[in-house]
Amino acid sequence: MDCRDAQFYLRMRRQVADELGADVTAPLDQHLATCPACAADARAIASFDRAVGRAMVNVPVPAGLRGKLVAHAASKRGEVLRRKVYQYAAMATAALLLIGIGAGVISNTRPALDVSHLVERNGELSANKQESTERWLAAQRLPDRLPLPFDYDLLTYRGHETVQGRDVPVLVFRSRTDGGFAVVYVFPHDSGFNLKNVPEVSSSHARAQVLVKQGSRGNVTYLFVHTGGPSGLESFLLANRGGGVAGA
């Protein structure tokens, strides 16, 4: 190590002695042992640091200084805490106001439940099942008459059912005696389904039968899902008109 590096590390050792590794301190000590000029600088630096240290130790501490420092620190800390509390309180108040305003807006924009309309609609279904159903089918741009003479006294529901993500018009007929059912799905030609060669499927509890009829706006596919085996659909038709899927 040369004198220039030794002078640099001497001054650094005064500030960060703990951070100098053995790879620096060992060559530095060897240089100081062989260089009188750098050794004299090292002794002068050490003597100055000791004198400053003694002077600082001998400085009298004013009475009550520690208590004042502690009180000042506590006061500053209290101000910071109070400021944070006020900030959090303001944020919480703003959040509550936003929630209240949002709830009020949502409440004011919600439609009022029209119970009278529900009563009127269901009353019409009960009193004039066939006529109201024909009007409903026509409103769906479908033939107003079903291809089979269903007994509308057995009709319990008309509306839409979601089938594979699409709303499909549906009518539900219920047997008065054995709990059987017949569900009529109506698929217009533009329903979005591939209606070519729709299969007729059966299970131990129900079966599906298909009937395609020509409508004013194209072919309409009727899918009848019912209980009672191949002839089970006949129990939901008017007895005096007879008929079935095959004879329609």
* Share of residues in the chain with pLDDT > 90 (%): 34
Mention every residue, 6+ apart, whose C-beta is less than 8 A from residue 162: 168
Give the tens place of pLDDT for each residue, 63-74: 777 777 777 777
Give the tens place of pLDDT for each residue, 111-124: 888 888 777 766 76
What integer pLDDT is reported at residue 100 of this predicted model? 77
C-alpha distances out from residue 192 to 100, 146, 169, 209, Å:
44, 21, 13, 20
Provide the phi-psi class of 175: left if phi over 0, else alpha when psi is between -120 and 50, else beta: beta
Give the tens place of pLDDT for each residue, 125-163: 667 899 999 999 999 999 999 999 999 999 999 999 999
The pLDDT confidence band at residue 244, using thresholds 50, 70 and 90, is low
Q: What is the pTM of this model?
A: 0.51
Give the tens place of pLDDT for each residue, 3-16: 888 888 777 776 66
